[in-house]
Chains A and B, each alone.
Chain A
Amino acid sequence: MKKRGHEKHYYLMLLPGMVWLVMFSIVPMFGILMAFQNYNPGAGLLKSEWVGLDNFKYMFQLNDSRTVIVNTFIIAVGKIVFNLLVPLIFAILLNELRSMRYKKLVQTVVYLPHFLSWVIMSTIVIGIFGYYGVVNTVIGMFGYDPKLFMADAGIFRQLVIGTDVWKEFGFNAIIYLAALTGINPNLYEAAAIDGANRWQLIRQVTLPALTTTVVLLGVLSLGNVLNAGFDQVYNLYNPLVYSTGDILDTWVYRLGLQNLQFSLATAAGLFKSAVSFVLIFISYRLAYHYADYTVF
């Protein structure tokens, strides 16, 4: 079949997308050079003074950088673990429901928070946990004094992980539920005839069917260990909880766009991008090796 002439059309079709890609993804990559310069906006990228790795050295000497990396890591890993386990348990429980209408109702409702932005969700969270929020109203009924939950560095990480799980658990369960529909009902019947009780059915039939999915999702989320979720943290935090709640992304934002320390912020951003890139690369290779999974 004659297809030679088609190639130029293929280039033409790729053109708008490639222009877009070059303009907003590839051109900014050259800006990474700023991390190795003492960038001066007046002089520009070509004439700014080169300083080698000084920005990185300075960054890692700052106390802030250590706090921020630790916070990012703890929040991100907490999210990864609970966003794997809570949806798993939820999916198994949902699968045990007999009433299909109730199942449908639960699914419809728990997917909803996923579609609302963190701007809206954090406003709601602050409304609930705020000084005049309903949590304080309720603990007031039991005779306790109201607390400033949103300003308490001791519970901020738990709050961030908890509200993230609350927002996403339903949606994250979709992939498990799909895996569950793939289980052959004969397996349950055979096990039941052999005298398996409910708990044994879950352990011996349901769980093994989900292991591959859990492992695969776990491996693929490896690239997220420095992704603590900018939108959420930015909308929930305040200076009182910086010690436990400030993350790499919010730090880069404040350094760069509020304090205008362009070079330092670029270096911190590059640190995050580079580590994440390596981790994603490893996770894709692992996923390919063990689960035969390819993304593209």
Chain B
Amino acid sequence: MVRNITLGSRTFEIANIILLGLLLIGCLYPLWYTFCVSISDKSAANAGLVTLYPIGFSLSPYKEIMGDPLFFNAFWISIQRTFLGTSVSLLITVLMAFPLSKPNREFKMRNTFMWILVFCMLFNGGLIPWYLTVQNYHLIDSIWALVLAGGVPVFDVILIMNFFRNLPKELNEAAVVDGAGPWSVLFRVYIPCSIPVLAAVTLFLGVYHWNEFFNGLVLMNTSAKYPLQTYIQQLVVNIPVGTNLTPEQYKKLSELSNRTLNSAKVFIAMVPMLIVYPFLQTYFVSGIMLGAVKE
């Protein structure tokens, strides 16, 4: 690429590098700050002395967490939920995507099902009817509420369906000529050919289940059943709702919170995401682009 190297161009380039560097720091600093607070001396952190690096050094919040059964319990529930939620959703999603990827003349009801699905994606009954329904199923406090109550991930079905549609038709025809039924075509031909989209969808689902806190909050009555995000949410947001709170009271409440301990918990909750982040980045980016693929 030809670029005119003038003084103005040079200045722009340097300014640009600095500006993007600032954005980079802007995204990293909050995480670094949280880490610094978590390992700082408690009194220094509570007095707001930490800015760029830890003040004093103490691992006592981390020791305290290691001794907190509720934290590990919540962590374990989140792992179970993410595992179950991702695998169940992925299987069902793939099973739905395959027939829906067929043209109308091969599967007459295809368009009807598609419309139902899209309608359910765009319209919902709202919070209260949904909550009462889950309650009627006696799923409150059950891990299956966390796995299933979010509903069918219709967007992921569409993503996989579009990918299936773009596979060469010959693949399907050759397999059918060789005597394969729909199930073998799906599991032996289509799925092995669709690893990129399946990886992307698996990660979409995994991130959703790991990060979701609201279902944990409303569908779990006992705090021992909370997934990790709900557990963290509960310990940070402890402001009584509906009371006539004054700013002074709000200040008192923030004085009461244990900043080092909360920061340590938030930091540990971030670690699994930071570990899988390299994979996430690759497949999410490709997944976003797959979503843009038209029929």
Q: Which residues of A contact B (CB under 8 A)?
A: 1, 3, 6-7, 9-11, 13-14, 16-18, 20-21, 23-32, 34, 41, 90, 93-94, 96-98, 102, 105-106, 108-113, 115-120, 122-128, 130-134, 136-138, 140, 146, 148, 150-151, 166, 170, 174-175, 178, 185, 188-189, 192-193, 195, 197-198, 223, 230-231, 234-235, 238-240, 249, 252-254, 256-258, 262, 265-266, 269-270, 272-273, 276-277, 280-281, 293-296
Which B residues from 23 to 37 make CB contacts under 8 A with A? 23-24, 26-28, 30-31, 33-34, 37
A118 CB to closest chain B CB, in angstroms?
8
**B241 near A108: Cβ-Cβ < 8 Å:** no
**A197 near B152: Cβ-Cβ < 8 Å:** no
Inter-chain CB contacts under 8 Å: number: 316
**B31 near A124: Cβ-Cβ < 8 Å:** yes
10 residue pairs bridging A and B, Cβ less than 8 Å apart: A1-B177, A13-B99, A13-B186, A24-B130, A97-B16, A112-B27, A115-B277, A127-B262, A198-B12, A235-B233
Pairs A-B, 6 closest by C-beta atoms: A31-B129, A269-B126, A117-B211, A132-B48, A28-B125, A10-B99
B residues less than 8 Å from A122 (CB atoms): 236
Given A14-B113, A198-B12, A110 and B133 contact (CB-CB distance below 8 Å): no
**A105 near B24: Cβ-Cβ < 8 Å:** yes
- 19 extra interface residue pairs, beta carbon distance < 8 Å, beyond A106-B20, A110-B27: A13-B99, A21-B116, A24-B130, A24-B149, A28-B130, A90-B23, A98-B13, A112-B28, A116-B273, A120-B270, A123-B263, A134-B50, A166-B26, A174-B288, A188-B3, A230-B214, A239-B243, A272-B126, A295-B158
**A193 near B2: Cβ-Cβ < 8 Å:** yes
CA distance A256 to B182 in the complex (A): 46
Partner of B20, one of A10, A94, A117, A239: A94
B124 CB to closest chain A CB, in angstroms?
6
Partner of A294, one of B4, B21, B295: B295
Asked if B84 is an interface residue, CB under 8 A from chain A, the answer is no
B292 CB to closest chain A CB, in angstroms?
7
One digit per residue, 1 when the CB lies within 8 angstroms of any chain A CB and 0 when it does not, for chain B 47-76 equals 111110000000000000000000000000
The chain A residue sitting closest to B235, CB to CB, is A123
**A97 near B92: Cβ-Cβ < 8 Å:** no
**A119 near B233: Cβ-Cβ < 8 Å:** yes
Given A124-B34, A230-B214, A266 and B129 contact (CB-CB distance below 8 Å): yes
**A256 near B99: Cβ-Cβ < 8 Å:** no
CA distance A126 to B254 in the complex (A): 10
Which B residues from 239 to 260 make CB contacts under 8 A with A? 239, 241-245, 247, 250-251, 254-255, 259
**A17 near B152: Cβ-Cβ < 8 Å:** yes
CA distance A175 to B48 in the complex (A): 39
Given A258-B241, A296-B158, A14 and B95 contact (CB-CB distance below 8 Å): yes
CA distance A111 to B277 in the complex (A): 10
Partner of A16, one of B92, B177, B213: B92
B21 CB to closest chain A CB, in angstroms?
8
**B126 near A115: Cβ-Cβ < 8 Å:** no
CA distance A131 to B247 in the complex (A): 11
B residues less than 8 Å from A265 (CB atoms): 126-128
The chain A residue sitting closest to B116, CB to CB, is A21
CA distance A14 to B114 in the complex (A): 11
Partner of A116, one of B96, B270, B289: B270
Partner of B24, one of A7, A10, A110, A146: A110
Asked if B82 is an interface residue, CB under 8 A from chain A, the answer is no
B50 CB to closest chain A CB, in angstroms?
7
**B17 near A102: Cβ-Cβ < 8 Å:** yes
Which B residues from 78 to 124 make CB contacts under 8 A with A? 91-93, 95-96, 98-100, 102, 106-109, 113-114, 116-118, 120, 122-124
The chain B residue sitting closest to A133, CB to CB, is B48
**A21 near B4: Cβ-Cβ < 8 Å:** no
**B126 near A270: Cβ-Cβ < 8 Å:** yes
**A13 near B182: Cβ-Cβ < 8 Å:** yes
Given A14-B96, A132-B259, A106 and B288 contact (CB-CB distance below 8 Å): no
B residues less than 8 Å from A136 (CB atoms): 48
Given A25-B152, A257-B131, A280-B122, A148 and B27 contact (CB-CB distance below 8 Å): no
CA distance A185 to B13 in the complex (A): 19
CA distance A238 to B239 in the complex (A): 7
**A127 near B34: Cβ-Cβ < 8 Å:** yes
B62 CB to closest chain A CB, in angstroms?
17
A287 CB to closest chain B CB, in angstroms?
11
Partner of B152, one of A21, A116, A195: A21
B residues less than 8 Å from A270 (CB atoms): 126
**B245 near A240: Cβ-Cβ < 8 Å:** yes
A95 CB to closest chain B CB, in angstroms?
10
